[in-house]
Chains A and B, each alone.
Chain A
Amino acid sequence: MGEMLRAAMAIAVKDLAVEWRTKTALVSSLAFAVLVLAVLFFARDPTAVSAVDVAPGALWVTFTFAAMIGLNRAFLMERENRALDGILLAPVPRTALFLGKVAANLAFVAAVEVVSVPLFVLFYDVPLWDRLPALALVIGTATFAFVVVGTLLSSMVVRTRFSEIMLPLLLLPFLVPPVVGAVQVTARILAGRPLSEAAGWLRLLLAFDIVFFAISTLLFTATLDE
């Protein structure tokens, strides 16, 4: 187990180092996130709907869209020069590859989110600072959910034609439970309601995390063997 985690960590660090050298995906995801946040601010009738009412939805649409354009990157870069074969030849369990990719993607999406949240507060003028721990909790559980499923799906779609359109097409149905749940909890948090009011949604998010983490880890090996 310790060895597996070490291997996973090595893969994650490698991925992040490669990303850090070019920063192409990070910068484009960040710019994209800012764009979506700004555009969604105008996607309402300002005389009828206040910005706070669309804020939770805007935040999560931003997160999922920005994550989606970043998720393919993890396996796209392994496709060049058949780099994936090199990793598969290494004497590490294949699950470690999946865990490493999940960890790198989590770090990537977290970076985008850390930058987006202050901008979100700024753009939408939501009172947030005292509720940050609760918000961090829901962002963490929901992000984990879609990064896990997204990593598994991207490991497959990068080897298809039209991989850019294929990932959203396959991933979006899986985002319904985590994103709907996250929006509901976020709305409660922004309205200053106690977190216990959203206990059902939090349980749903947690159950989704556990079930899909288990099944994705299990199924990942099936996407590899040739």
Chain B
Amino acid sequence: MTQRDRALLFARRGTLVTAVMLVALAGVYVRALLFTPIERFQGPAQKIFYVHAPAAWSALLAFAVTGVLSILYLWLRDRRLDLAGAASAEVGVAFSVIMLTTGPIWGKPIWGTWWTWDARLTSTLFIFLLFVGYIVLRGALVDPEMRARYSAVIGIMGLVLVPFIHFTVFLFRTLHPDPILMKPDKPSLPGDMLLTLLMSFGVFTVLYVGFLAQRYALGLLEDLRDEEAAGHAVS
């Protein structure tokens, strides 16, 4: 299978997955708005939770995948690992924008403030900015091999930086709610809400995969185009 065929296959499958998941997302929202009980203290504002938390999850998953692919790239030096890592970083930035816009919209009515410098807000903001830098850096490098190595270095550094930023802001104190899902005893969310949330998590995760596949396909095609252009220039 040529690189073009593989790219087109990824593009087709990615588009299909994305389309199905966007329909599923609409379904999740119908469920969240109509069939999930309204939260007692926060009222309807809490509904944004079902987008905000899963988007944050997908963003951090995407950045973690970029970090892991960066390590693998420096080890195996396979160009596809670099392209996939870059694709994941871009998708992560997109999900971060969702997280960073829905967060303040939710925060204003509930906390009384758009923004607070708590541990999770701050670390996600800076990791978002770091990956914006990652994408800008890629744009400023012409040689694909050099671009791959440099991006991998930033990807790995980012992976190491997150816990440090988190701990830094943790030494300040925090408004953000404590984890309600991943904690030692059972989740402190009523069954209906929990189910909606988990469905949304599932949809967002597969949506990430769909976006990733499409962006990766695009990366493969760009790579091919650059190679052909370079070939023409030589001959």
| Residue contact A160 to B140, C-beta cutoff 8 Å | yes
Residues of A within 8 A of B24 (CB): none
Q: Assuming the A-B contacts A174-B157, A177-B168, A215-B160, are A222 and B136 also in contact, with contact meaning beta carbons closer than 8 angstroms in the complex?
A: no
| Residue contact B171 to A201, C-beta cutoff 8 Å | yes
Residues of A within 8 A of B167 (CB): 177, 204
A170 to B74, CA, bound (A): 20
Q: Which B residues, 29 to 69, have Cβ-Cβ distances below 8 Å to chain A? A: none
How many whole Å from B170's CB to the nearest CB in chain A? 10
Q: Does B126 contact A (CB under 8 A)?
A: yes
Q: Does B164 contact A (CB under 8 A)?
A: yes
Q: Assuming the A-B contacts A159-B146, A160-B140, A177-B167, are A222 and B153 also in contact, with contact meaning beta carbons closer than 8 angstroms in the complex?
A: yes
Q: Does A13 contact B (CB under 8 A)?
A: no
- Interface segment among B81-89, B92-100, B127-135, B180-188: the answer is B127-135
How many whole Å from B142's CB to the nearest CB in chain A? 8
A–B Cβ pairs within 8 angstroms, 26 of them: A149-B157, A152-B153, A152-B157, A157-B137, A159-B146, A160-B141, A162-B140, A166-B136, A166-B137, A166-B140, A169-B132, A169-B136, A173-B129, A173-B158, A174-B161, A176-B165, A177-B164, A201-B171, A204-B164, A211-B160, A216-B157, A219-B156, A222-B149, A222-B153, A223-B150, A226-B146
Q: Which A residues, 172 to 226, have Cβ-Cβ distances below 8 Å to chain B? A: 172-174, 176-177, 180-181, 184, 200-201, 204, 207-208, 211-212, 215-216, 219, 222-223, 225-226
| Residue contact A222 to B171, C-beta cutoff 8 Å | no
Q: Does B152 contact A (CB under 8 A)?
A: yes
| Residue contact B130 to A222, C-beta cutoff 8 Å | no
Residues of B within 8 A of A212 (CB): 160
Known: A160-B137, A161-B140, A176-B126. 12 other contacts (CB 8 A): A156-B137, A159-B141, A169-B133, A170-B137, A173-B126, A173-B130, A173-B161, A177-B168, A207-B164, A215-B156, A215-B160, A223-B149
Residues of A within 8 A of B161 (CB): 173-174, 177
Residue of B with least CB distance to A161: B140
Q: Does B105 contact A (CB under 8 A)?
A: no
Q: Does B154 contact A (CB under 8 A)?
A: yes
A204 to B122, CA, bound (A): 17
B contacts with A: majority SS: helix
How many whole Å from A223's CB to the nearest CB in chain B? 6
Q: Which B residues, 177 to 209, have Cβ-Cβ distances below 8 Å to chain A? A: none
Residue of A with least CB distance to B156: A219
Residues of A within 8 A of B129 (CB): 172-173
B residues bordering A, Cβ < 8 Å? Answer: 74, 122, 126-127, 129-130, 132-134, 136-137, 140-141, 145-146, 149-150, 152-154, 156-158, 160-161, 164-165, 167-169, 171
A contacts with B: majority SS: helix
How many whole Å from A164's CB to the nearest CB in chain B? 11
Residues of A within 8 A of B145 (CB): 226
How many whole Å from A76's CB to the nearest CB in chain B? 15
| Residue contact A170 to B154, C-beta cutoff 8 Å | yes
A109 to B168, CA, bound (A): 24
Query: Which of B134, B167, B168 lies at the interface centre, i.e. has the most chain A CB atoms within 10 A of its CB?
Result: B168
Residues of B within 8 A of A181 (CB): 168
A120 to B153, CA, bound (A): 36
Residue of A with least CB distance to B166: A177
Q: Assuming the A-B contacts A166-B140, A169-B136, are A156 and B153 also in contact, with contact meaning beta carbons closer than 8 angstroms in the complex?
A: yes
Residues of B within 8 A of A201 (CB): 171
A204 to B167, CA, bound (A): 8
Residues of A within 8 A of B137 (CB): 156-157, 160, 166, 170
| Residue contact B152 to A222, C-beta cutoff 8 Å | yes
Residue of B with least CB distance to A179: B168
Residues of B within 8 A of A160 (CB): 137, 140-141
